[in-house]
Amino acid sequence: MSEPLILNGVAIDDGFAEAFPMKATRLVVTAHNIEWARHAGLSATGFATSVIACGCEAGIERELGPDETPDGRPGVALLIFSMSGKELAKQIERRVGQCVLTCPTTAVFAGLPTEAGEAVALGKNLRFFGDGWQISKVLAGQRYWRVPVMDGEFVAQETTPVVKAVGGGNLLLLATGTDEALAGAEAAVAAMRKVPGVVMPFPGGVVRSGSKVGSKYASLPASTNEAFCPGLLGLAKHSELTPEIRCVLEIVIDGLTEVAVAGAMRAGMQALVERAGAAGVKRIAAGNYGGKLGPYHFHLRRILGAAT
């Protein structure tokens, strides 16, 4: 058993978060102003917390200034992840078609270099909404579609590249109460959102229903992680908690690269250590399944740069 590591009153587990391969793309959504770009981005990334039931995991990576977008308007960068390129292509078409095409003044572009990965349809099929009135234009070797709509036109790049990505990086925050856990999670997520190439797909970046693989019910692929449920302390066969821990929250991270996921985890842990254990988050752990779920193992102490 390793020696305890406590930094500023926060215990860091000698464990790892287990993550798995995914497919991803970045989309850039622009609009007349940032408010409408944000409306489109929030809608397009809604109901996208877990591939278990949502088909994809997605979020707003960051807001973009006019100098960072193809058409010189404010926008948002979206990251969308799925388990296969085929499913990702389906999710892109549905979400852009229902949530970006429909949103006033928006346009959509690929947010990754064309050569980064295999191209899938972005505006290629959505152009048919134009009912024959749509036209295309090629600029710098890229095709864009202009679809007439009631506020003018909807502009969409024809394709977007799909790249290999990493899903399921995570941190478990063990705290003395709900207020303390929420404050710590909010601070950690705020720090993690400054890292490029990642999103935290759950509401506010945080999930309370941490899960384990499998269930006593054969039809369920995942179920509650009883080892981290305070209400089951003394009832479950195995618990990871002590009596002072009354709330556990999890932050799940999806990233375009291993480096991005590790960087986000580091930023989150540093934010919690800076707040100190006196703020209520007493321990940082991570979810893994003995290495059986995925090939990416993010060791907490190594990422934090501390001696094990």
Can you give the pLDDT at residue 308? 45
Strands 198-199 and 247-255: antiparallel
Can you give the pLDDT at residue 306? 56
Can you give the pLDDT at residue 15? 94
Task: Give the count of beta carbons closer than 10 Å to the beta carbon of residue 6.
Answer: 13
Query: For the structural domain made of 6-19+165-304, what CATH number should be given?
Result: 3.30.70.520
pLDDT of residue 57 exceeding 80: yes
Task: Work out the angle at residue 265's Cα, subtended by the Cα atoms of residues 261 and 267, and round it to the nearest 5 degrees.
Answer: 115
pLDDT of residue 307 exceeding 50: no
Average model confidence (pLDDT) across the chain: 95
- Is the CB of residue 253 less than 8 Å from the CB of residue 169? yes
- Is the CB of residue 288 less than 8 Å from the CB of residue 15? yes
Query: For the structural domain made of 23-163, what CATH number should be given?
Result: 3.30.70.520
pLDDT of residue 176 exceeding 90: yes
pLDDT of residue 297 exceeding 90: yes
Instruction: Give 222's strand partners.
Output: 213
**pLDDT single digits (tens) 200-231:** 999 999 999 998 888 999 998 889 999 999 99
Residue with tokens 């992680």, as numbered in its chain = 225
Closest residue by Cα to residue 30 from 96, 77, 79, 99:
77
Q: How many percent of the chain have pLDDT more than 70? A: 99
Q: Which residues contact 204 (CB under 8 A, 6 or more apart)?
A: 185, 186, 189
Q: Which residue has the higher pLDDT, 147 or 236?
A: 147
Task: Give the count of beta carbons closer than 10 Å to the beta carbon of residue 119.
Answer: 17
- Is the CB of residue 187 less than 8 Å from the CB of residue 284? no
**pLDDT single digits (tens) 259-287:** 999 999 999 999 999 999 999 999 999 99
6-19+165-304 and 23-163: identical CATH topology: yes
Whether the model clears a pTM of 0.85, i.e. scores above it, the answer is: yes
Closest residue by Cα to residue 242 from 230, 225, 259:
230
Per-residue confidence band for 9, with pLDDT thresholds at 50, 70 and 90: very high
Can you give the pLDDT at residue 1? 58
- Give the residue extent of every domain in the chain: 6-19+165-304, 23-163
Mean pLDDT to the nearest integer, 82-109: 98
Instruction: Give Cα separations from 85 to 30, 127, 163, 229 (angstroms).
Output: 24, 21, 9, 35
Token pair for 15: 């464990």
Mean pLDDT to the nearest integer, 245-262: 98
DSSP state of 31: -
Phi-psi domain of 264 (left: phi exceeds 0; alpha: psi -120 through 50; beta: other): alpha
Residue with tokens 């977008």, as numbered in its chain = 69
pLDDT of residue 171 exceeding 50: yes
Distance in angstroms (rounded) separating the CA atoms of residues 193 and 215? 33
Mean pLDDT to the nearest integer, 38-44: 98
